[in-house]
């Protein structure tokens, strides 16, 4: 294999190359080459000695992305199927005729999203998915360290219904106490950002917040004011998981609470990686649809 450089895709030999990482930085620390890594599709940051890394062949990377995108497309297929049924139920509820809505056509007004991400690659993936899912969204690439400083002004500017605060996280080297927030790379930064957002809007129904990344301090994030967070079992979460959580909130009627089991089961990671509290939906149905 060739020399490993910044931007290469690698796997850790000591972990059986179970996760593919992008090389972010290579440093010389006390005579050893230490590499900073970020997950290719998992919101994980890690470090590893250079000698523990192997380059991943481009064909294997391409195959990995095909598998990842196939999972994403399957999840979206279920989303649109569910939406069609929910739209029809909303019409029946909103247009009072003995036999249902008849010929009246409705239109959707989903909740809007402000997504702040510490990783520009993941943000691009998420923004593309929001567009495919027809969710109005604004996205900003802001490092985890700066999110608390920037979030209030962005909330004032965009006034979204939902806020996503994510990026990368993980355990610091040598971590033993998983209840201690200082054991995590960025959980403290996410907590600070959630608290700053709650100074803008206290109500968890008026502003719905998803916060966290791989292995984040779930309990601290919920205590800070998040509606949904990662990671209950301190596992890795997928890059698309925040999108599928907020999609369910954005397209659930304002009359209805979010079925927690359904929204979490709809993510790629599931209950080990994502959890939350009871929250109301943000979708409004409009009738009739204008021909113009």
Any idea what DSSP says for residue 279?
-
Backbone angles phi, psi at 48, to 5 degrees: -155, 150
pLDDT of residue 29: 86
> In this model, does residue 281 exceed pLDDT 90?
yes
Q: Where are the alpha helices (DSSP H) in 210-253?
A: 218-224, 241-250
- Residue 160's pLDDT band, with cuts at 50, 70 and 90, is very high
Query: Which residue's structure tokens are 């192997």?
Result: 54
- Residue 112's pLDDT band, with cuts at 50, 70 and 90, is very high
Strands (E), the chain: 9-12, 21-29, 32-39, 45-49, 53-55, 107-109, 113-117, 137-141, 162-166, 208-211, 228-229, 275-276, 284-286
d(CA 251, CA 175): 39
Q: What is the mean pLDDT of residues 158-164?
A: 98
pLDDT of residue 289: 83
Work out the end-to-end distance of the chain between its first and last CA atoms, rounded to an integer number of angstroms.
Answer: 60
Q: How far is CA 33 from CA 1, 11, 15, in A?
A: 17, 16, 18
- Residue 266's pLDDT band, with cuts at 50, 70 and 90, is confident
Nearest residue to 163 (alpha-carbon basis) of 219, 194, 208: 208
Q: What is the pTM of this model?
A: 0.84
> In this model, does residue 100 exceed pLDDT 60?
no
pLDDT tens, position by position, 10-57: 999 998 988 899 999 999 887 888 998 988 878 887 888 999 999 999
Nearest residue to 168 (alpha-carbon basis) of 66, 4, 36: 36
Q: Which residues contact 212 (CB under 8 A, 6 or more apart)?
A: 165, 166, 169, 187, 190, 218, 221, 226, 229, 230, 231, 237
d(CA 26, CA 34): 6
d(CA 221, CA 281): 20
Q: What is the mean pLDDT of residues 67-73?
A: 76
């Amino acid at each position: 294999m060739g020399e490993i450089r910044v931007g290469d895709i690698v796997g850790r030999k000591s972990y059986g190359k179970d996760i593919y990482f992008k090389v972010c930085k290579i440093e010389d620390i006390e005579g050893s080459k230490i590499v900073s890594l970020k997950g290719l599709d998992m919101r994980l940051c890690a470090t590893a000695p250079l000698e523990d890394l192997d380059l991943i062949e481009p064909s294997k990377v391409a195959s990995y992305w095909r598998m990842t995108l196939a999972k994403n497309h399957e999840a979206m297929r279920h989303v649109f199927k569910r939406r069609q049924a929910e739209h029809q139920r909303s019409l029946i509820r909103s247009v009072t005729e003995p036999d249902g809505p008849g010929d009246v056509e409705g239109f959707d007004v989903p909740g809007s999203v402000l997504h702040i991400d510490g990783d520009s690659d993941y943000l691009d993936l998420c923004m593309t998915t929001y567009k495919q899912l027809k969710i109005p969204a604004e996205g900003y690439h802001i490092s985890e360290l700066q999110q608390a400083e920037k979030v209030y002004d962005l909330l004032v500017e965009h006034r979204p219904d939902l806020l996503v605060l994510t990026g990368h996280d993980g355990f610091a080297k040598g971590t033993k106490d998983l209840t201690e927030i200082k054991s995590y790379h960025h959980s403290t930064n996410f907590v600070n950002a959630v608290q700053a957002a709650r100074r803008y809007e206290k109500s968890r129904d008026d502003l719905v917040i998803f916060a966290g990344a791989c292995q984040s301090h779930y309990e601290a994030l919920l205590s800070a004011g998040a509606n949904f967070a990662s990671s209950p079992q301190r596992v890795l979460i997928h890059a698309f998981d925040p999108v599928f959580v907020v999609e369910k909130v954005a397209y659930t009627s304002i009359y209805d609470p979010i079925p927690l089991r359904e929204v979490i089961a709809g993510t790629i990671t599931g209950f080990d990686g994502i959890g939350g509290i009871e929250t109301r939906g943000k979708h409004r149905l409009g009738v009739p649809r204008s021909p113009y």
